[in-house]
């Protein structure tokens, strides 16, 4: 009987988490035949199928479910040993960081981050994934290194640091036939048709909930899951979009649109970076957090370029 090595434990963990041998192979950057051979070795070692196909997923057997927490703990201990007192040199490191970000953060932050890395950490790679309901779990397992945005689901149980505060403005076409000048009344706001934008997993439902508290109701005719295309929609229609103020700065230079102060007071919100306890003392993660804070913290976002 052979000993189970680290790579086989990683394969077990990847299949357990992804429910797929092919997805596990992609995750580990190995070929599917190698993953299948590895699974057969695991089955032989434990004298159990470990994973059986049910529909389009590989479901864990009872034995595999018992093994999973032990495998996780073993790999975590191995990771800790490997990283013990390991110096991190961003100038030569080729590490890939996984960031979970809102679509607004993509627009505002990725260009500056890429420019910084080009000069200070040219081999570092960034993998950006969307925010979803699985984010807390992905951070607790180390699959996501850092999450940035307006993310209420991470307010409890995670470290956090405020980067800046945001408030909302109204975005309209410069040629809107009924909204002229640089002011917008409550009556005009409520009489027009609106776009509602609530990216999944974020706190931007705040707009609608605050309006309800004030007894106000918008006529929403379009709902979007992302802010990315809102500028193009606004410049071609007579709709109003209520968007974060910093996003409006990016959009105003790209189309025939204008941003107006809202005719009522919405609360500001904080854009934060969040990380899990397992990453708190990691030299790599500490470096990444410091870079993001220096780049994007209000009043300091140009200091390290």
CATH number of the domain encompassing residue 203: 3.40.190.10
Q: Report yes or no: 147 and 100 within 8 Å, Cβ to Cβ.
A: yes
Q: Are residues 211 and 279 in the same domain?
A: no
pLDDT at 85: 59
Q: Are residues 179 and 126 in the same domain?
A: no
pLDDT at 83: 67
Dihedral sign of CA atoms 70, 74, 75, 76 in order: positive
pLDDT at 198: 81
pLDDT at 237: 94
pLDDT at 170: 95
What CATH number has the domain bearing residue 49?
Answer: 1.10.10.10
Q: Are residues 195 and 237 in the same domain?
A: yes
**Number of domains comprising the chain:** 3
Rounded-to-integer distance, Cα 292 and Cα 276, Å: 16
pLDDT at 104: 85
Structural domain includes residue 12? yes
In 274-288, which positions are buried (b, 16+ CB within 10 angstroms) versus exposed (e)? bbbeebeebebbebb
User: Of 269, 287, 280, 75, nearest to 158 (Cα)?
Assistant: 280
- For the chain, 305 residues long, give each residue's pLDDT as a single digit of tens: 457 889 999 999 999 999 999 999 998 989 999 999 999 999 999 999 999 999 999 999 999 999 999 999 999 888 877 766 567 899 999 999 999 998 888 888 999 999 999 999 999 999 999 998 889 999 998 999 999 998 888 888 899 999 999 999 999 999 999 998 889 999 999 999 999 988 777 777 788 888 889 988 999 999 998 888 899 999 999 999 999 998 898 888 777 899 999 998 888 989 999 999 989 988 999 999 999 999 998 754 333 32
Q: Are residues 279 and 139 in the same domain?
A: yes
Q: Are residues 50 and 197 in the same domain?
A: no
pLDDT at 305: 29
136 CB contacts (<8 Å, ≥6 apart)? 153, 154, 157, 158
pLDDT at 251: 87
Residue 197 has φ and ψ, to the nearest 5°, of -120, 120
Query: What is the domain range of residue 284?
Result: 96-164+272-296
Q: Are residues 285 and 158 in the same domain?
A: yes
- What is the number of alpha carbons within 13 Å of residue 158 lying toward its C-beta? 27
First-to-last CA distance in the chain?
56
């Amino acid at each position: 009987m052979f000993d189970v090595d680290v790579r086989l434990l990683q394969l077990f963990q990847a299949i357990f988490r992804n429910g797929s041998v092919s997805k596990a192979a992609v995750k580990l950057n190995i070929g599917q035949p190698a993953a299948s051979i590895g699974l057969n070795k695991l089955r032989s070692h434990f004298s159990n199928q470990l994973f059986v196909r049910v529909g389009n997923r590989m479901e864990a057997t009872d034995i595999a479910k018992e093994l999973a927490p032990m495998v996780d703990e073993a790999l975590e201990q191995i990771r800790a040993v490997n990283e013990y007192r390991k110096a991190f040199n961003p100038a030569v490191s080729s590490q890939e960081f996984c960031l979970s970000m809102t679509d607004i953060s993509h627009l505002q932050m990725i260009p500056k981050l890429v420019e910084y890395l080009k000069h200070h950490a040219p081999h570092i790679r960034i993998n950006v994934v969307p925010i979803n309901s699985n984010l807390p779990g992905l951070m607790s397992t180390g699959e996501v290194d850092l999450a940035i945005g307006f993310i209420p689901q991470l307010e409890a149980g995670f470290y956090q640091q405020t980067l800046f505060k945001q408030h909302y403005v109204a975005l309209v076409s410069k040629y809107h036939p009924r909204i002229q000048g640089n002011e917008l009344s409550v009556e005009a706001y409520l009489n027009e048709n609106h776009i509602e934008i609530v990216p999944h997993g974020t706190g931007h439902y705040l707009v609608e909930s605050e309006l309800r508290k004030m007894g106000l109701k918008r006529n929403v005719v379009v709902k979007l899951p992302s802010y990315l295309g809102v500028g193009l929609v606004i410049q071609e229609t007579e709709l109003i979009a209520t968007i974060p103020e910093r996003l409006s700065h990016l959009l105003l230079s790209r189309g025939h649109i204008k941003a107006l102060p809202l005719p009522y007071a919405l609360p500001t919100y904080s854009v934060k970076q969040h990380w899990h306890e397992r990453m708190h003392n990691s030299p790599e993660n500490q470096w990444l957090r410091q870079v993001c804070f220096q780049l994007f913290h209000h009043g300091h976002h140009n200091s390290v370029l």
